[in-house]
Amino acid sequence: MLYPERRDMLFRESLVPFAPADLHYGLRSEFMADKCLEKVNLVIGAYRDDRGQPWVLPTVAQAIQLYHDDALQNQEYLPIAGEQSFCKAAAHLLLGCEDSDMQNRKFSFQTISGTGAVHLGAVFLSKFLAVPKPLVYLSDPTWDNHVPVFTHAGLSVKHYQYYSTETRLLNFEGMIQDLQDAPRGSIIVLQASAHNPTGVDPSQSQWEQIAETMKSSGHFAFFDCAYQGFATGDLMQDSFAVRHFFQQGIEMFIAQSFSKNLGLYGQRTGCLHYVANPGSEASSTVQRVASQLSSLQRSEISTPPLYGAKIASLVLNDKTLSKDWLGDLATMSERIAKMRAELQGRLEELGTPGNWRHITTQIGMFAYTGLNESEVELLRTKWHVYMLPSGRMSVAGLNSRNVSYVADAIHDVVGKVKVRK
């Protein structure tokens, strides 16, 4: 026998059980195998055009051509902190202030998109935050990768009230109360715009109150910014919360992704920005934090990938491309807003039980439909319409050819089944 059975294997079944399959990609695989011609994928958060196809932004296509036409480009390693022309432009895009205002208070690291930025910040905080056993507070609900990223970094996770299932709006009073009650020095994870999964954001005045609560409670802010410009088409509006926190002198991490707003999904292009409190110690603090982030980045990925950062840098730093990019952002955000309006209108026309105004009051890629798990299951098994069991829908999967079909499907299943116990 070439490979005799070994009963002393280190990785025994009891030590290495099967991990649960990823829900998103499991549903994606099921969708791909579905033979129904009318099937609709409302699971994965990636933009699709009105033909239901992936869309390469015209400005990104131009940047790619410029990159390949440049004979001086090469494939050498980037520095540990990444492509600094990209990082500098990314920070300016978020914070909107001049270099002289930022240089003593912040440092930026290129990361493996937004997920890598959250991870790098989480590992740093688990090692260096000056609070014994710090708690991470996430919104309820939140992006489902937040919990494993922070727990894998060794941090304990709790949740603050955020979404009201009754009103389908922000539970602002509950959120503020939970932030006030959290132990001083807690890590509060906030989504800057187009909250995933609910599509419900605080107003600007509410963000101002949140910032005031964060300062008075001595919490550390950790922003996740995955949809700047993609949410409303307005870069300034989508980064209001981050800019306000910066202006208020609040110490924070900001995880920034260019997957959605540049369509660089597969390039995994992102940044982690550290912003220190203002004052005489700021520059020294930034340098020390940057040194430890460099050490962590070096041990985990050595240096970040080159291609996506080069393309993003061209778009962000070229005046013509950056101006044209605003048109691309408007194209995406306006199409999604149109699909929201058409879905709501069709449901109301059909007389579907319930109030569907939340479809258009929510913003961004995702809609929290209010459908229960059993209704979602019936949508998939009877109508071949796929979304997450929570009822979260990727609005980008809707188009002029399928939006009426999806509305008919929702109308058919609403109230037909109860939540399974």
pLDDT class of 15 with cuts at 50, 70, 90: confident
pLDDT, tens digit, for every residue of 263-297? 999 999 999 999 998 887 888 999 999 999 999 99
Of the given ranges (70-84, 89-103, 129-143), which has the lowest mean pLDDT? 89-103
Query: Among the options 178, 224, 238, 328, which is catalytic?
Result: 224
Look at residue 415 in the predicted model and tell me its pLDDT: 78
* Mean predicted confidence (pLDDT) in 220-240: 95
Of the given ranges (2-16, 169-183, 200-214, 226-240), which has the lowest mean pLDDT? 2-16
With 70 as the cut, is the pLDDT of residue 419 above it? no
Counting residues of the chain whose pLDDT is more than 70, the rounded percentage is 94
Of 384, 389, 378, the residue nearest 412 (C-alpha): 378
Concerning whether 207 is annotated as a catalytic residue, the answer is no
**Within its chain, how far is the Cα of 44 from the centroid?**
12
pLDDT, tens digit, for every residue of 328-343? 999 999 999 999 999 9
Query: Among the options 55, 106, 143, 356, which is catalytic?
Result: 143
Compare 9 and 143 and report the one with higher pLDDT: 143
CA atoms within a 13 Å half-sphere pointing along the CA-CB vector of 330? 6
Residue type, 68: H
pLDDT, tens digit, for every residue of 297-309? 999 999 999 999 9
For 321, phi and psi rounded to 5 degrees?
Answer: -65, -40
pLDDT class of 2 with cuts at 50, 70, 90: low
Concerning whether 127 is annotated as a catalytic residue, the answer is no
Averaged pLDDT score across all residues of the chain: 93
**With contact defined as beta carbons under 8 Å apart, do 396 and 46 qualify?**
yes
d(C-alpha 206, C-alpha 209), whole Å? 5
With 80 as the cut, is the pLDDT of residue 190 above it? yes
For 8, phi and psi rounded to 5 degrees?
Answer: -110, 25
Look at residue 16 in the predicted model and tell me its pLDDT: 81
Look at residue 8 in the predicted model and tell me its pLDDT: 57
Look at residue 85 in the predicted model and tell me its pLDDT: 96
Token code pair at residue 151: 């727990």
- Which 8-state DSSP code applies to residue 79? P
* Mean predicted confidence (pLDDT) in 210-237: 96
Could you please state the CATH topology (level 3) that the domain comprising 23-55+334-413 is classified under: Aspartate Aminotransferase, domain 1 (3.90.1150)
Of the given ranges (106-110, 169-173, 275-279, 298-302), which has the lowest mean pLDDT? 275-279
Which residues, in sequence order, are CB contacts of 301 under 8 Å at separation 6+? Answer: 112, 116
Query: How many CB atoms sit inside 10 A of residue 98's CB?
Result: 9
Query: Among the options 55, 207, 260, 325, which is catalytic?
Result: 260
* Mean predicted confidence (pLDDT) in 155-181: 96
**With contact defined as beta carbons under 8 Å apart, do 363 and 194 qualify?**
yes
Token code pair at residue 152: 């894998």
Kindly list the distances between the CA atom of residue 326 and the CA atoms of 49, 229, 315, 332, in Å, as whole numbers in the listed order: 17, 8, 11, 10
pLDDT, tens digit, for every residue of 42-88? 998 899 999 999 999 999 999 999 999 999 899 999 999 999 999 99
**With contact defined as beta carbons under 8 Å apart, do 172 and 342 qualify?**
no
Domain edges within the chain: 23-55+334-413, 77-317
pLDDT class of 421 with cuts at 50, 70, 90: very low
CATH class for the domain made up of 77-317:
alpha beta
pLDDT class of 130 with cuts at 50, 70, 90: confident
pLDDT class of 98 with cuts at 50, 70, 90: low
Counting residues of the chain whose pLDDT is more than 90, the rounded percentage is 84
Q: Is the pTM of this model over 0.75?
A: yes
- Which 8-state DSSP code applies to residue 380? I
Q: Is the peptide bond before 183 cis (omega within 30 degrees of 0)?
A: no
With 90 as the cut, is the pLDDT of residue 9 above it? no
With 90 as the cut, is the pLDDT of residue 21 above it? no
Look at residue 63 in the predicted model and tell me its pLDDT: 98
- Which 8-state DSSP code applies to residue 189? E
Concerning whether 325 is annotated as a catalytic residue, the answer is no
Residue type, 386: Y
With 80 as the cut, is the pLDDT of residue 418 above it? no
**With contact defined as beta carbons under 8 Å apart, do 394 and 348 qualify?**
no
